[in-house]
Amino acid sequence: MTKLVTGFLLLIICTTSFSQKNTNQRAEWFTHSRFGMFIHWGVYSGAEGYWKGEKLRNDNNYSEWLMYRNRIEMDEYVTLLKRFDWNELKPEEWVLLAKNSGMKYITITAKHHDGFGLWDSKVSDYDLGNYTNPRRDIIQEMADACKKHGIKLCLYYSHWIDWQHEYGWNHNREIYKLKPEEYDQYWQEKVIPQIKELLTNYGEISMMWFDMWIHHSNSIITKEQLLQLKNTIRELQPNCIVNSRLGLSLDEDPDVDYKTLGDNQLGSKKEDFPWQSPATVAHSWGFHSSDTNWKSTSSLLKALIGNVSLNGNLMLNIGPRANGEVPYEISNRMLEMGKWLNVNGEAIYGAEAFDLDKDLHDWGKITCKQDGNKFKIYLHVDNWPLNKKLHLTGISSSPEKVYLLADKEKKSLNFNYSKVFTEISLPYLQPDNYISVVVVEYNSKPEIVDGLVSKTVDGGYSLLPDNQFENDKSIVVEPLASSGTIPRHVVVNSNKTFIWKIYVDKVGEKNLDVSYSFQNQESAGDITVKISGKIFKHNIRPTGQTVAEPNEAWYIDNFRSNRVGTMNFAEKGFYTIEMIIEPQQKKEVNFQWLWVK
């Protein structure tokens, strides 16, 4: 055992210095803020997803695409403005909603694809200044309200697509061609002058959010035009950050400030470069009266926490109605998030990814922060353990103190620490109805041991093809199939060895169960498990099939749990678990997991 432990300690990874790297100075406020509001509001808001009795065409159901999808002529489209209630409309209320929801910045659609400006533009008549009496300038009103309430103002500007300008881009140009010189006319007489207006007349604009989701080389827009646009921004407001949907790849211009993920695409891996997911509470960005697939508050909080735990931001959208009203289903969830952030914001603002694998623990996610001379790890627990014991695997330092973030008195929680395992005793009731945060404080950034399999909330170890100690590149994990009835597994048809490492914090006997599917009529081949010189052998058995649905001739291969043996873990410490699958005559075994408990 001692040998094992020493060998293991050598594998301790001394982690790199704290703080999200590659963040240029300009983007520092952004990575610190983590949570912002997106506002999609424009002429389309007056249609509420319907035009002349017909629902928005096209299944992507983005109501701001109404003009294009339902083939509406411009002069008819603007009649939608008659439905607007200009007396009721108070943009300051959107700003207050953002503030009370814990958001630090707002990005509003100054000009969406319909080409209609929400400000009083001298460059185009197609704007609110021209269609309201008394004149309204929503960008000015937003700038004033944001300033008053300490929120950063950011602008969405549709640069690539413009359905108003005769030479702007719309996808029909793939059929009805446009000459590059014509497109440049649109660019020089609308885009560049409007960007100049927006960055000159409204004080500080913290971010320009562009919206082109293909690379410029696949469209009419040129690299030169995009650079001209970016340089105009840099000249007028050097602190204004620009998102990657500008259309230049980071390789050709590393000066883009952050990466924008796809619509409603959450982070999947830790990245040092700043990034953000734009997200909706239901589906459409603009208000759509039949868009009712609301995400729950806890799933929205999980989206935010998940992104921050990978160094990302979340920008959550409101699609106000033509009178400015924000649907209750949206505002209610956002305000709930705000209440949560009021208590737990310390674990989000200025917090970042910790070094452990993002899916290591089954109770939730981890964020971290250097706070004065303390290093804090925040455990976002979305599954309060039934036995009130929280298992933290992989950190090889003892905490100084553990407490609930919701507890103003910071009353210490009891914990046991050994080698790489911290077991925290939780109170019976979780302090938050959604996600409770446990703070684990260290004197300095703790070291970690990477590659261990963690202990689950129910006290077992789930050894999977893809959580082996060393990343086995030869392994192909088959994804979930047949509506999830076929689990993730590895097809094994010749001898294959799997190796995992676990830390056992309590001595005693544990069962070893292996799950696989074996579609053969008879037993054939062996599975051998080796732990600390002990050998357990199992003869591979047929697992049969199950009828998934009656009379549908839909049969699925069974994955069954088989007892391989019972191991006495006589000492606390690290254990290497080796499993060898030896199929006979190349008869395929589909291995799912080895469960130790």
Site string for ligand GLC, 333-372 (x = CB under 6 A): ----------------------------------------
Report the residue number, 55 or 419, with the smaller CB distance to ligand GLC.
Answer: 55
Q: Site residues for ligand GLC, window 211-270 (CB under 6 A)?
A: 211, 213, 263
Among the listed ranges 58-66, 178-186, 323-331, 438-446, the one in contact with ligand GLC (CB under 6 A) is: 58-66
8 Å CB contact between 377 and 366: yes
Positive/negative CA dihedral, 300, 425, 385, 452? positive
8 Å CB contact between 169 and 160: yes
Minimum distance from residue 164 beta carbon to ligand GLC (Å): 15
Q: Give the integer Cα–Cα distance in Å for 491 and 516.
A: 10
In the chain, DSSP finds a helix count (H) and a strand count (E) of 12, 29
Report the residue number, 211 or 505, with the smaller CB distance to ligand GLC.
Answer: 211
Minimum distance from residue 173 beta carbon to ligand GLC (Å): 16
Answer for which of 23, 33, 64, 84 binds ligand GLC (CB under 6 A) is 64
Three-class DSSP labels, 317-368: EECCCCCCCCCHHHHHHHHHHHHHHHHHHHHCCCCEECCCCCCCCCCEEEEE
Report the residue number, 278 or 583, with the smaller CB distance to ligand GLC.
Answer: 278
Minimum distance from residue 323 beta carbon to ligand GLC (Å): 21
Q: Does residue 250 sit in helix, strand or coil?
A: coil
* 163 binds ligand GLC, rule: CB under 6 A: no
# residues contacting ligand GLC (CB under 6 A): 9
The residue at minimum Cβ distance from ligand GLC is: 278
* 115 binds ligand GLC, rule: CB under 6 A: no
Answer for which of 105, 285, 518, 569 binds ligand GLC (CB under 6 A) is 285
Chain position carrying tokens 């799933």: 299
Report the residue number, 278 or 324, with the smaller CB distance to ligand GLC.
Answer: 278
Among the listed ranges 59-67, 226-234, 289-297, 421-429, the one in contact with ligand GLC (CB under 6 A) is: 59-67
Pairing of β 436-442 and β 352-353: unpaired
Answer for which of 8, 30, 35, 62 binds ligand GLC (CB under 6 A) is 62
Site string for ligand GLC, 16-55 (x = CB under 6 A): ------------------------x---------------
Task: Report how far apart, in Å, the C-alpha atoms of 3 and of each of 440, 449, 509, 568, 572 are.
Answer: 30, 17, 22, 19, 13
DSSP string, 73-112: -HHHHGGGGGG--TTT--HHHHHHHHHHTT--EEEEEEE-
Among the listed ranges 57-65, 85-93, 336-344, 518-526, the one in contact with ligand GLC (CB under 6 A) is: 57-65
Quick count: other Cβ atoms within 10 Å of Cβ 581? 22
Minimum distance from residue 39 beta carbon to ligand GLC (Å): 10
Q: Give the integer Cα–Cα distance in Å for 522 and 543.
A: 10
Q: Which residues of 419-448 are buried (b: 16+ CB within 10 A; e: fewer)?
A: bbbbbbebeeebbbebbbbbbbbbeebbbb
Among the listed ranges 60-68, 195-203, 385-393, 585-593, the one in contact with ligand GLC (CB under 6 A) is: 60-68
Q: Give the integer Cα–Cα distance in Å for 524 and 504.
A: 33
Q: Give the integer Cα–Cα distance in Å for 95 and 104.
A: 10
Minimum distance from residue 306 beta carbon to ligand GLC (Å): 18
Chain position carrying tokens 């709930």: 336
- Chain residues binding ligand GLC by CB under 6 A are 40, 62, 64-65, 211, 213, 263, 278, 285
